[in-house]
Structure 1
Amino acid sequence: MSPPVLVRPRPVHRAADLLAAYLPGSFYYSSARGSLLADGVHATVRAHHGTRAHAAAEVLDAAAAAGLVEPVVTGAIGFRPDSETSLVVPAVVRRAGAPTADADAPPASWSTSWSITPKPESAGYADAVRRALALIDDGELRKIVLARCLELTADGPVPVPSLLARLVRADPAAQAFAVDVSAPGDPAPRTLVGASPELLVSRHGGEVVANPLAGSLPRVADEAENRRRIAALLSSEKDRAEHAHVRTQVAEVLGRFCVDLAVPTEPVVIGTPTMWHLSTRITGRVANPADPGSSALALAEALHPTPAVCGVPTARARTAIADLESEDRGYYAGLVGWTDLYGDGEWSVTIRSAEVCGRTVRLFAGAGIVAGSDPSAELAETSAKFRTLLRALGLEGAVA
């Protein structure tokens, strides 16, 4: 008897329509490969034993057996091993092609009055960088990523659909997302929303892609200066060393799952509307696409956290982050995305993101600290990375 033919879903909607249809509580994810909008909860994924990928595979199989057509697991996982998760099998999933720069987006309609509280203040972040450099000098770490937080409070509720639409319209090639991450005790629904430039891993028909980023400079309006910055990134010994940590670890992890792994030896520079990043696009093919242990979520769990958001060595860096950072990262620097019944899916690193709850918006941005890092330069890098969300909120230039 011949094995069943896998017929994967095809987009049947317009990307702009899915974006316009998003409401808080839905799950939205878009990238250069396409858009996905999911609603309702058929089942919740809880990893009582094994990995979250193992639990997701079991729930997907049960959903298919119950008659749900083309079930998908969607959601987000926090930075720490014991962090919150929000993985569900939605009741309804709609797909479309990739969004475009002229995607229909509602005009900004939120408050024009904000209070902004840095956590920590600039001096506190610079001091944390100096303490991290001491750990590097002592040989405990080779790299660590330190983040800081901005807490913004508006004089009225922040409309998440408008914020999401502006993020997608500003950079349709980004991995844009909006996920309900409400937790008991929240005063209002809480949404994780963002536009990440960093693909953690995707799997489509067994073909695997990861695109780690590390080594960054702000983008400016002057194109001649941008060309200078691109050249500076490519020639920077410090930035290339920071990037090499990430590329090496991602390639090592994917090498456990993939055959025909292709790892470029030289990074390239990619741009977002606010930043330039050193980038390496790593590709491969899983040996057995039907194995739940090589699903997109399984690969994402194996990769997380990469040195792009944590450090080297991983365990020591994660401990140091808890000691040096004043705020719990929550979902920041975790992963967000989807995996389907066949193991295909996309997961991005949860950066350039915010958690929105009523009138409050919490943003995080981080910088990679290696030998030779300068505290003031790392502080400036985090300020530049905040611009993605601040620009979408109409607050660009509000933070130095």
Structure 2
Amino acid sequence: MESTAVAESTDMDSPSNTPFILSRPHGTVIADGTRTQYDSTLAATKALRDGRATAIVGALPFDPAHPAALITPHVLRHEPGSWNGKSLRVPRIRIGSSLPTEAEHVARVAAALRELRAPDATLAKVVLARSLMLHADERLHPHALLGRLVAGDRGGNGFSVALGAAGSTWSGKHLVGSSPEVLIRRRGDVVSCHPLAGSAPRHNDPESDRRTGEALVVSEKNVREHALVVDALRASLAPLCTELDIPDRPTLTSTPQLWHLGTPVSGRLRDRSVTALDLAVAVHPTPAVCGTPTDAARRLIAELEGGRGFYAGAVGWTDSEGDGEWMVGIRCAEIDAQGTTIVAHAGGGIVAGSDPDDELAETTTKLGTILTGLGVQL
């Protein structure tokens, strides 16, 4: 569905007046107001292509069958450097329930491993996630959490997206996070991305931290997991590009919580009419958040987890020239319309060599991004 937005609040601190912010090291993109909203990616791409939309910003869901949360803003602003918004207080946050319980997540990983290790297995990888429900004593403004996340990330990464365009169920809700992973970027005819897959926890002790990173680079299990993601991106981008530059081996990258294996990918578009939004739709979901083969992994995720909504989707923008940037929707939380319930999400890639207890520990480490931003610890 495509629709014209309702009148906006006159409260300048209301997140409805700034429905989209994407903070990156090289600059921040901010949407002011909502001109038109779309719950269909197809409708949004069509509006962009025929000139009715001056820009598209928002969030793509994990499952393409789920409604999108995309808008054309009144104004799309580009500011230098990472976001430096108004300082807002984060209220006291209390940890609630795990969804599912930790024991149930371990059981789900074990169930996935039975499929991955079956003699006739076609599934090579599946990403399983869990959530943590948190409660705020007072209303949490999404930009308060965004400010904490941007300040806590050495690259200044962070995003806040209003989800109301996806329909009444999502009215007033926001997705806020600090994703380290570029799904796709387009500048002119240059396409780039930086997939991350394969990870290990950081350590306070510098020597232990260094050894952990070095071990990750030579880990057969993690290198294989990463290769599945790179191979899938190559297959998706090759038909759209005249050339692709993909290094043979991943390199080490990091967040405050985790070491990651990453591969910088770049190419040149065959057709300049292909926009950044088109590219995001073409490559999403990658095996980094879903698995491979995609259809088999998505079916197993639906069976074991149910719906993911916007977690492990994509967050980004595309302008009238077709340029833009879309981030993978991870290290994030959904804030409800009242601002008092926060659901944080984290997942991990499961391959035949995975260990269920290790996978649980990985999700706990990844939840640390949001928990640190909220000022709480597990």
| TM surpasses 0.5 | yes
Could you tell which deviates more after superposition, 332-341 or 134-143?
134-143
In structure 2, the CA distance between the partners of 1:365 and 1:105, relative to structure 1 (3 Å rule), is same
Counterpart amino acid of residue 126 in structure 1: V
Letter in 1 for 2:369: T
Deviation at 1:37, TM superposition (A): 1.1
Paired AA for residue 42 in structure 2: T
Within the candidate set 45, 49, 62, 1:54 is matched to 45
Q: Deviations over 1:19-59 (max 9, x none)?
A: xx875122101212311111212222354xx8356324246
Change (3 A) 1:174 1:28: same
Residues 126, 350 of structure 2: 8 Å contact kept: yes
Q: Is the 8 A contact 2:229 2:287 kept in 1?
A: yes
Letter in 2 for 1:194: G
Structure 2 residue matching 1:315: 3-state secondary structure? helix
- The answer to whether the 8 A contact 1:339-1:345 is kept is yes
Q: 1:305 Cα deviation (Å)?
A: 0.7
1:185, CA displacement in angstroms? 4.5
Distance of 1:22 and 1:313 partners within structure 2: 44
Taking structure 1 as the reference length, what is the TM-score of the superposition?
A: 0.86
Tell me if the contact between 1:53 and 1:301 (Cα under 8 Å) persists in the aligned partners: no
Distance 2:99 2:235 in 1: 35
TM-score (norm 2): 0.90
Question: What is the alpha-carbon distance in structure 2 between the residues aligned to residue 206 and residue 23 of structure 1?
Answer: 37
Percent sequence identity over aligned pairs: 41
Q: Which residue of the other structure, out of 210, 235, 238, is the alignment partner of 2:221?
A: 238
Q: Which residue of 1 aligns with 2:134?
A: 152
Distance 1:22 1:56 in 2: 29
Corresponding residue number in structure 2 for 1:163: 145
Report whether the alignment pairs 1:24 with 2:4: no
Query: In structure 1, what residue type is equivalent to 2:140?
Result: V
Counterpart of 2:5 in structure 1 is none
Q: CA RMSD in A?
A: 1.8
Q: Please give the alpha-carbon distance, in whole angstroms, between the structure 2 residues aligned to 1:270 and 1:165.
A: 23
CA shift for structure 1 position 175 = 4.0
Deviation of residue 329 (structure 1)?
1.0
1:98, distance to aligned residue in structure 2 (A): 1.8
| Counterpart residue number, 1:302 | 282
CA distance in structure 2 between the partners assigned to 1:52 and 1:174 by the alignment? 32
Conserved 8 A contact 1:367-1:378: yes
Contact 2:316–2:324, Cα closer than 8 Å, also in 1: yes
- Say if 2:21 is the partner of 1:42: no
CA contact (8 A) 1:22 1:28 kept: no
Which residue of 181, 187, 191 maps to 1:198? Answer: 181
Residue 373 (str. 1) matches residue 363 (str. 2)? no
Question: After alignment, is 371-380 or 175-184 more displaced?
Answer: 175-184
Is it true that 1:127 corresponds to 2:107 in the alignment?
yes
Offset of residue 356 of structure 1: 0.5
Which residue is 2:363 aligned to? 382
Cα distance change of structure 1 residues 227 and 172 upon mapping to structure 2, 3 Å threshold: closer
Q: What are the Cα deviations for residues 188-237 of structure 1, in whole angstroms up to 9, with x where unaligned?
A: 72111111011000001111111111000111211111111111110100
One-letter identity of the residue aligned with 1:334: G
User: CA contact under 8 A between 1:98 and 1:172: conserved in structure 2?
Assistant: no
Please show how residues 66-85 of structure 1 align to structure 2 within 5 Å.
71-85=54-68
Instruction: Give the conservation status (yes or no) of the 8 Å contact 1:142–1:313.
Output: yes
Q: 2:169 & 2:117 partners in 1: Cα distance?
A: 42
SS at structure 1 position matched to 2:69: coil
Q: Which moved more, 1:151-160 or 1:139-148?
A: 151-160
2:48–2:55 CA contact under 8 A, matched in 1: no
1:54-105 Cα distance to aligned partner (Å, 9 max, x none): 324246x024xxxxxxx221000110121121111100222111218xx466
How many pairs does the alignment contain? 359
State the shift of 1:109 in Å: 3.4
Q: Structure 1 stretch 177-186 or stretch 117-126: which is displaced more?
A: 177-186
CA gap of 1:92–1:215, structure 2 versus 1, over 3 A, is: same
User: Which residue, out of 343, 366, 371, partners 2:322?
Assistant: 343
* 1:14 aligned partner: none
> 2:281, 2:136 → 1: CA distance?
35
In 2: Cα distance, 1:153 partner to 1:109 partner: 12
Residue by residue over 1:241-272, the C-alpha shift from the partner in whole angstroms, topping out at 9 and shown as x without a partner, is 00000011111211111122100001001011
In structure 2, relative to structure 1, the CA distance for the partners of 1:185 and 1:320 (3 Å cut) is closer
Distance 2:25 2:63 in 1: 28
Deviation of 1:106 (Å): 2.2
Q: Per the alignment, in what secondary structure is the counterpart of residue 296 of structure 2?
A: helix
Does the residue aligned with 1:62 lie in a helix, a strand or coil? Answer: coil
Contact 2:200 2:216 in 1 (8 A): yes
Q: How does 1:240-255 map to 2 (within 5 A)?
A: 240-255=223-238
1:75–1:336 Cα contact (<8 Å) kept: yes
Match of 1:260 among 219, 243, 246: 243
Q: Is the 8 A contact 2:221 2:353 kept in 1?
A: yes
Counterpart contact for 2:39–2:69, Cα < 8 Å: no
Superposition pairs for residues 94-109 of structure 1, below 5 Å?
A: 94-99=77-82, 103=84, 106=87, 108-109=89-90
Contact map agreement 1:99 1:172 (CA 8 A) in 2: no
| Aligned-partner SS, 1:256 | helix
Distance 1:259 1:97 in 2: 31
How far 1:273 sits from its partner (Å)?
Answer: 1.2
Which structure 2 segments of 5+ residues have no match?
Answer: 1-11
The residue aligned with 1:328 is: 307
Tell me, yes or no, if the aligned pair for 1:29 and 1:178 is still in contact at 8 Å.
yes
Secondary structure (helix, strand or coil) at the match of 1:372 reads coil
User: 2:59·2:69 contact (CA, 8 Å) conserved in 1?
Assistant: yes
